[in-house]
Structures are given as structure tokens and as C-alpha cells.
Structure 1
Amino acid sequence: MAIPNEKGARGAASAKPAAPAPILANEDIYRRLQQAVFEHRLLPGTRLVEDHLAEVTGSTRGRIRQVLARLAHENLVTLIPNRGAFIAKPTVEEAREVFAMRQLIEPSMADLLARGPKASHIARLRAHVRQEAAARAAGDRAAIIRLSGAFHMLMAELTGNRILTRTLRELCAQTCLVITLYDKPNTPACPYHEHETMIDAIEAGDGAQAAALMRHHLQHIEATLALEEPEPAGRVDLQSLFFS
């Protein structure tokens, strides 16, 4: 009877099967996909394949469908029958609606923070602005956009209003998609010095000024985007294409 090679036997014994993918909860999968939009790791139009997502998350196609349906409800994903799920590509009209909603919400949020400002809140806001400045100094465009949105979400978090925080997180994620699609070259999407002046107004307890600065800030962001409606296509003489 053949005796197995000792070295080979040791090697076979030491070989370990590939570790299974860690099983992530639906909320974790949702958060990571949403964060990937913020970080520009998932760009508009990217296809999200259910089987592959299930494999890498240790999940099932059924659970992945639940997550994708939630993201679709928030307009971050587009579900196309017989084709699959894709990261959304907001239209010009949808982009304007996102900014209209933010104008309704965020000036009041800034005003609220200015009513009895807390030193701990001001310290967190200023620390965040320093991170934004570092990202700009490094020329890290993706980090600049992510941190700019995160500043607004931090303001919402500091109000203590969970519904506001959740709503603004969804709007900021949609704004990231809008900026990716409609950004004008060499234009700062969210000037961090405007964040600093807002913090100054909040620290001074001037709610009216904080709200006014937020309105101007959001108008400024929208103005840096190419949101002009395309010219309607003219009528084409089809006959001339073939018989001219």
C-alpha cells in the first residue's frame, strides 16, 4: 500500500477552506451601499447584481431585494423590470426638487441649533470643518464632497431630531448623485468657508443669520451645477436620411 508523502500530508492537513462571507444584517448592507454613494464608490448608472451582492454579504437574494427596494424608495436606486437595479441618475427636475426640499428644511435646522448653542456642538462642527480643509488641501475631490454632505448631516444629528437626521441623510445622498452628474469642472461644490460662517452665527446665538447663511449656501451649491434644461430636439426629416 502506498504511504502518503509526509510533507504533502502536512500541507493537505494545514490547508483551510475559504472563509465564508460574513453575514451582514439588512441595515448594515443598506448603510454600506448608501455610504458608497456618499464616497463616490458607486456612481450613477452602476448596476447592482443581486447574486453578487448576496455572495459578498453572506445574504440571500430575497434580503438583497428588500435592501434595494428601500434604496429605490429613497430614490438612490432605480429598479428596471427584466434588467435589474441601478444606482439612480437624477434628472434635472429631480435635482431641483432635492434642493427645494433642502431649502425647506435646513435653514430652520440652522436656526434651531443657534437657540442655546452648546460648546460641545460648536467644537464638533469646527473639527469637521478642519477635516474639510485638509481634504481640499490634498485635492481629494471625493472626500471633499463626502465631508461637505457629512457637515450638513452632523448639523441635523446635533438637533437631536432623528426624523430630521434620517430625512437629511437621504437628501444628502441624492445630492451626491446630482453633483456627480451635473458638477461644473473646477467649481467647489460646497465651499467650506461658508460652513465656518454658519458656525460663527450659531455660536453667537443668531438664528436669523444662521438661517440666512444656510439659504445662501444651498443656493450657492445649486448655482455651481449645470442644471440647464437641454434644448428640445428638432424635428428630423427621416426621408432625407435615405433619399437625399
Structure 2
Amino acid sequence: MNMGDGMDSGKAGGASPLSVEEIRDRIWLAIASRRLSPGTRLKEEELAGVFNVSRGRIRLVLKELGREGLVILQANRGAFVAAPTAEDAADIFHLRRVAETRIIRRLAETISPEGVEELRALVQAEAEAVAAGDKSEIIRLSGAFHLRMAELLNSDFLACIMRELIARSSLVTAIYRPQHDVHCGPADHVKLLDALAARDSGRAVELMVEHIDLLESELDLRQSVRKSNDLNAIFP
């Protein structure tokens, strides 16, 4: 189906078209779960047909992904899934250590019982996704756990930083982590949460550093970028 730049049309049955955020999330999950490879060209017309929306809406999605570093926008060539280097990977995880140790230290001093329960619900949902083997949901919930910690500080600045770092680190792990291991794992998150609930900032920081160190240690930076994929097969 060829969608133009005009009004979006809903899918069969009168359903509302997907929002920019929903399409962005689906593309991000496709990258993070290795269904969409670095270097893949993201054609506006093809994506508009896949998601049954206008090219104008797809253009907004690609701009958002470009701001997050997940997509490279090239004049007169189009949009391509980014392909971060090994050096980029090291920089991203270094920045995650700095940002997340700051976040968890502050959160251990201020988190409310309601905040603890909210994070606990995310960890429980993540464990259920692991048990079900739902890789896309595992990736989404793992990122949501780390992002929600920043949001609980009511700091738009830290939340914005974490949103971008989570997106970029998901891209890095999609390229460089061995295929059999594609998520943080709820066990580490349970330990972090227990330290937060006990308001033990020292232990929480220690666990966060260990957690990020482990994630980085699992990367195989010798791996090469894989070939591109067919968008219609990725988003049926």
C-alpha cells in the first residue's frame, strides 16, 4: 500500500492509526531484538505501507529516532539504522555508569514505598516475560526499569539522558552481544530494588556498577555488523 503525505487512514475495521511514539517503539524493539540490522535502509514509503500511516508521520518517527542516535539521516540518501563502533560502545557504557550511579544514589535517599512497588511490578513483569520467552517484552521492560528510576527523581534532564542512553545501549547490544543473551535479567534488578527499598545507597551504587560492568563484559566487540533485512518481513 502506498501512503502519501496526506491524512493517515486507520486499518481495517476503523482502528486508529499508530502514533509516532508507537511506531518509534516498534522500530526500536525491532532493532534491539535483532530483527532489524544496523545499516538497514528505512524507506519512508515502505514504512508508511507497513504501518498504514502517512509518509509525513514516518518522517516524524525517523527524526525522533535520529535524535536518539538510532537512525542516521543522510541528505539525498535517506535514513539508515545506525551502526555504532566498538569505541562508541565503550563511551555509551561509561556514560551509563556515571548517570545511573548518580540516579540510584539519589533514589536510595528519596524513593517512596509507592515507588518501590512500582519498580517491583516492572521486575515481576520482566520475570514473567523471561519465563514466556518473549524477547521483545523482556527488552522493553528491562529498559523501562532503568528509565523509571530516573523518572522517579522527577528530573526531566536525567530522564531525557537515560532515554537516549538506553536506546543507544540497546543498539550496541543488538550488534555486539552474543545471540543467546539479549537482556539484563530480572535477578540483578531484584538486588538493586532490595537495596533501594533498604535505602542502602552504598550497596545500591555497588550493585549498579557491577550490573553495568557485566552488561559491557558480555559484548563481543570483534563482531561485524550484520546484513540488512527486509522491512516487510520484519513488520508483518
TM-score by length of 2: 0.76
CA distance in 2, matches of 1:154, 1:38: 19
Shift of 1:225: 1.0
CA distance in 2, matches of 1:156, 1:220: 21
Structure 1 partner of 2:117:
123
CA distance in 1, matches of 2:52, 2:81: 18
Give, as a single letter, the amino acid of the residue that structure 1 aligns with 2:104: A
Pick aligned residue for 2:54 from 51, 56, 59: 59
Pick aligned residue for 2:152 from 146, 153, 158: 158
User: Is the Cα contact below 8 Å between 2:178 and 2:219 reproduced in 1?
Assistant: yes
User: Is the Cα contact below 8 Å between 2:33 and 2:182 reproduced in 1?
Assistant: no
CA 1:225–1:21 in structure 2 vs 1: closer, same or farther (change >3 Å)? same
Structure 2 partner of 1:237:
none
Q: After the TM superposition, which parts of structure 1 deviate over 6 Å for at least 4 consecutive aligned residues?
A: 18-21
Pick aligned residue for 2:209 from 203, 215, 240: 215
What do the CA deviations read for 1:152-202 (whole angstroms, capped 9, x no partner)? Answer: 112112121122112211111111111111112434641321111111111
Shift of 1:51: 2.1
Map 1:119-198; keep pairs closer than 5 Å.
119-187=113-181, 189-198=183-192
User: Is the Cα contact below 8 Å between 1:92 and 1:229 reproduced in 2?
Assistant: no
CA 1:141–1:19 in structure 2 vs 1: closer, same or farther (change >3 Å)? closer
TM-score by length of 1: 0.74
Equivalent pairs counted in the alignment come to 212
| Runs of 5+ unmatched residues, structure 1 | 1-17, 231-244
Structure 1 partner of 2:88:
94
Which of the two has higher C-alpha Rg? 1
Give, as a single letter, the amino acid of the residue that structure 1 aligns with 2:90: R
- Which 10-residue stretch deviates more, 137-146 or 201-210? 137-146
Map 1:4-19; keep pairs closer than 5 Å.
none
Residue 220 of structure 2 aligns to a residue whose secondary structure is coil
Root mean square deviation, CA, Å: 2.8
Map 1:21-40; keep pairs closer than 5 Å.
29-30=23-24, 33-34=27-28, 36-38=30-32
CA distance in 2, matches of 1:77, 1:115: 37
CA distance in 2, matches of 1:28, 1:142: 14
